Each structure stands twice: as structure tokens, then as C-alpha cells.
Chains A and B, each alone.
Chain A
């Protein structure tokens, strides 16, 4: 299949997670993505190790985020390097970055300037907190955004300290929004020929992630979210919504009429909760009764009763069970990629399929500057002649 972005060139100045996760998606959709990296060190996440895992000289995080890309090193403060970058930008469809506000302006690489050399460029930028207000200079780091935006009071139980969500989800959401904005501009460019400026920030994306709970807060008299004391899975939902311990593991139960649940699992005290409004109002006591009852048997026992009755429930599993199932039946959710030196590794693949085909690519992660020579001799020399 011809991938939809197979004629698109992306020049990506971003590092860490938010920006590079966006360019990864563009690469999966077929774009040619060239990472512009600082000579010597490159993208800082090359050496931002998580736990103690090193893969062929770089962190597992870097590999997950930067497969299927090229690497071009340039010192943006060196005029010779910068002039090469400018030639590359003339040819590019998309330029993107996630520097703090003001950095690209100082380098002469802001949208207004690039538009003069490439009128139809689509320019994507990610900031931490937008370009207005007192937070604009603060580091745009995932945990700080989670902390500031109230998000830490949504997970965990009411008797716990604030609980951050254990994935860099603000980075990921922001990258996802940047992709949406860039693709929307490509749709528009196909109609009008015009480029555009796409701006997203981690702060706006953190609010969008919480659009349901913030809207509730705005309209319920500004009450703070209240996590239930036990078995909380969403502070805004009534019982039984939550994860429950069983004799041998954990079981999650989503929205379910409480009295029906009581009948099915033979727990008489629950059968009196027939009023749906009470499932929220009395959620603490319902959850207390339910959690004591579910402890008396194994997860499999409850599933055998609840699944045939079409009750929304599932066992709580680990990646081992997940990956075993995926390798049996959904093999396209992971893929093996190869670096130029032959190093191979397994990683996840693009979650979108088009016309039934998975968007995979064998191209692994670039070593730092591995594509300089190729780009200088092919792309840039051809371009310099054109110009």
C-alpha cells in the first residue's frame, strides 16, 4: 500500500517525548522524518535511561520513540550548518520543534522567517504552557504538568496522597494533538495550497485530557473530585466502577446495575440498591460490601458468572498475559525493526490500520548523524543546484 504521507518530508527539531512521538506517527503514516540533532550528544533522550536498560548504546525510550527516522547532525549556531538546514527547509513540507518559547526565534528558525523561504510550509510547535502568562518559562515536563493541572487527584483512593499517572500521558496527548493539527493543515493544503502554523501546549492538552472532569467541576458548583476510599477507578463514577481484589488476583467491574450484580454474585445486601442515582450517592458503602464479597472466590469464578450475563468486567492482567495473547492473535501490534548496523529489536507498531493493512516499517532507530553524508550528497546537493 502507498502510505498516505509517502511524499511528505518532515524536518524535526524536537527532542524528548512530546515532539518525537508526533513525528513517529507521521513516519508511520509514510512521511520521511529527518531528526535534526546536536553534534556529539544528539537528542537528550538517547541517554535518558529508564530502569537500567540499554539497547545498542541508547536508551529503550529513545528506540521506542525514534524508529523509522533519519538523523542529521547540525550545530544550529554555526552559519555553515544553518545554511544547510535552510536548504533542507526549502524542500520540507513540515517543520516541527518543542523548544521553550523564544529559542527558534533566536536561531532565526521561527515560522515567520521560514514562511519567507518556503511559503507553504506547515510549522508545528509544542510548548509547555503556551506563549502567554507566568508559566511560559517553566520547564514543560510531564510530571510537573500532571501536578499543576489537578490530575493527581483523579487516580488512587481517597486515603492516598495525590497519585500521578504512571505514563508520560501529557507528553503523549500533546504529541497526538500536534499530529492532528499538522494533518488537518495537510488536508487544507491539498485544497488551498496554503501552509499554516500549528501550536499546541502541554497545558492545553492536560486540560483536554481532563475535559470531562473539568467540565463537571465547572458546572457542579466547583466541587473538588472525590476519590472513593477504596476501589477508586474514576472519582466521578458511581459504584461498582472499580478494581476489586479476589481470592487469587484482581477483577475490574465497570458500569453495572448494582442490584443486578448483587443477584448474579449472590450478595443479598446489594440487591436493595435499585435506584441508579443511589449508585453514586452510596458508592462507598456499596463498594465496601462488594469488595468483601468478591474476596471470597477466585477471579475465574466471578468471570464465569458475570461474562455470560454481559456484565462489563475483566481480569486485571500484566503485560505477560497481554503479550501472550497479542502474539497469538494480534501479531501486528508489535514489530521487529533493524538499525543500519544490523541491531534488531522488538517494539510496538502504529495503532492505526488503513484498508486492513498494518502500517509497519522495518527501519530501526538512527545512530547519531548516520544520514548526514547521504543527505549532503543527495538531497542537499541536488537542491543547491536547483537554487
Chain B
């Protein structure tokens, strides 16, 4: 049995952070209903990457909203709002990611909803929490990366700030919202009471950096210092990083510098390797000079039997063609209303050995109004 079977989630969300949380709950068995404005639906339907669409909706929308239902309603229309309130009475979970105050103005704040349904778990995502000078700023991923210091961890010493090239704040915050909602459901099983669960993108990025911020809080407040070349982590010692080879790139994690001194014939670092952090740049430069002389395959053949932790830096062609990738059945097909199919990733969690795949696409706006009017209302 899928663990969240029989649970109903109402998703008043757009773009990525909230919808990615709805997606996870859908994959784990919940019935997730997107509440959307009539005709246009949520903003994410038109937000495309690389201008890529599948029918009227972006491929990105299907990626984040597959396996859900859609119920369209004009929340400013009293008759529609009344239906939504009926849905709230039947729901187990409600999530939203509007800016602070919007749901309250609609009469759908936590207190209102708890009045309708005392067992409701009400989850909300904001950008920056409800306090502080940023509270009304748009909760957008790159902006959060910028103010949370994240830009100073990737790239090399002399590079400008380098952001993470994926929507990490949205992603991590969605993960945290699911954790909070599920723990609310666990508490509800004991008490019968619902709960308000709040997360925000800023707190999620602080948590995401918990190791390095804790270090900063206890090292006299020093700022991160990226390696001069091949940096992979501002706080880790040589050889941790990425190195060019004759035909590509090799990543090396924490390893035995004595071994590398001999294997790469770089005796000039012998006097430095007692402190791989202080002498990081000199050691990494010597390793880089040696690794350039042979192919990635040559180094893997040498290092892997010696249990040196390394890997080829692959692109998507190499990654998705690899038998290690294929063996794990990491893709699934979703079927669009016009019969075409679209390949996407799947839920990363297995329970009782079961994968949670589903061919359901992102729903058309209001596709399930009639069905839900009959079954739930």
C-alpha cells in the first residue's frame, strides 16, 4: 500500500517550491488537487525552460505537476469560494506558497481553515518568513541564493559569485514542507488536531548550509575561501576537486596524499602534504599538472583498484547512457492528453521494494471539476 493512500491534499501553489512538495505527496499515494484560477491556471504553466512546451503547458509544468488533479475556481467569487471551503472540509492537507497575507485576505488563512476543518494540516511556504526587512521581497530562487551567501561556495578563488545552476532553494524548501506536513499528520493521528506548518526559502537555505555556517559561527567569523583551481568545496583539503585530463575531467574526493605524491611522481609536494588545507592550492596545482598528461580512463584504471575515490566528470549523454544509470530504471513515461508521451524522472524513494511510477501528466486547468463536484462535494 502506498503510504499516503486515502489522503487528500489541496495545493494552492505555483511555480516550483510548493508544487514540488505536492508532487512528492502525490507519488507517495496522496490525491493532490491543484486549486487554480479558471482558464489560465497557475503561473508555472507558462514558465518554460528553453521555450519548451507540450501542448498548452510547458514541459516544466508537467515535470512538477504530473500525477495531480486540477480544480479551477475564482477565489474572489463567493459561489466558487463556497465550493473550495467544502473541499477544505474534506481535505487532510492544504499547502500554499502565496506571499504573506494573500490567503488571509481570501478568508483562507490558517485560522479560517482550522475553523472549517480542525484536523487540517495547513502548510505554507514563504520567501523569508514573516519577520525582517525582506519579508515582502519576492521569494525567488536566485535572489535567495544571493542573500544567503551561497554564491561564494562554488567556483574558484578569483571567480565572481557562482550560483548553483538549479533551483536549490525551491527544491530544498519543498522537501522541508513535505517533512513538516508528514510530521503534522503523525501528530494528528495521536491528537486528532490539525497543525500549521511553516517553512521559508531563507530558513531552508540556512539549513542547507548547516555544516559550513556552523563552521563560520565557530571559527571567528571567517568567510569561505575557494580553492584557486578546480574548487569543489571551499572548506575541504586537497585534493578535493575537479581536474582536467588529456581528454576530459576527473573528480577526486578526500584521499591519501602520500599515495598521490608517489603515484603521480610529484615529490615537490612531499613537504606540504602534512597540511592539505593550508597548502591546498600548491598541492592541487601539482596534481593538476600531473593529471593533464594522461586520459581520464588511464587514471581511473590506476586509481580505482587502489580504492582512490574518484570519478569521471560526465555530461548528460555519458550519464544517461551508462549501465549504472540504466540498471536503476531512473526514467518514466507520462502520457499527455493528445496521446504523446513525455519522459521524466521518477520518485527517488522506494518503499517495501516498490517504485512509485505513474503515467498521469500534469492536468489541464479545471480538468477534474466535474469529477470532484460529484465525488467530494
Residues of A within 8 A of B (CB): 2, 4-5, 7, 17, 25, 29, 48-53, 55, 60-61, 63-65, 129-130, 132-135, 138-139, 141-144, 146-156, 160-169, 172-174, 176-181, 183-188, 190-192, 196-201, 203-205, 207-220, 222, 224-225, 227, 232-237, 241-243, 245, 250, 252-255, 277, 280-281, 310, 312-323, 325-326, 328-330, 333-334, 345-348, 350-356
Contacts and interface: CB of A to CB of B under 8 A. Distances in A.
Contacts of B162: 155-156, 163, 243
Contacts of A178: 349
Contacts of A177: 175, 348-349
A20 B53 CA distance: 40
Given A219-B54, A312-B143, A352 B176 contact: yes
Contacts of A355: 195-196
Contact-size category for B: 35 or more
The main secondary structure of chain A at its interface with chain B is mixed
Interface string B152-189: 11110001111111111001110110111011111101
| Residue picked from A4, A187, A203, most chain B C-beta under 10 Å | A187
B249 A166 contact: no
B154 A356 contact: no
Contact of A155 (B134, B143, B163, B218): B163
A312 B136 CA distance: 12
12 contacts: A60-B215, A65-B211, A133-B323, A161-B242, A180-B178, A187-B182, A188-B4, A213-B166, A254-B142, A326-B206, A329-B131, A333-B206
Contacts of A201: 328, 348
Contacts of A172: 172, 208
Contacts of B74: none
Contact of A176 (B151, B165, B172): B172
Contact of B161 (A139, A148, A176, A316): A316
B232 interface: yes
Given A139-B309, A149-B319, A200-B348, A348 B324 contact: no
A142 B176 CA distance: 20
Given A167-B209, A243-B160, A334-B217, A50 B236 contact: yes
Given A162-B313, A330-B129, A200 B349 contact: yes
| Residue picked from B163, B196, B225, most chain A C-beta under 10 Å | B163
B137 interface: yes
Contacts of A174: 348
Contact of A233 (B163, B186, B241): B163
Interface in B90-148: 129, 131-134, 137-138, 140-148
Contacts of B217: 323, 334, 345-347
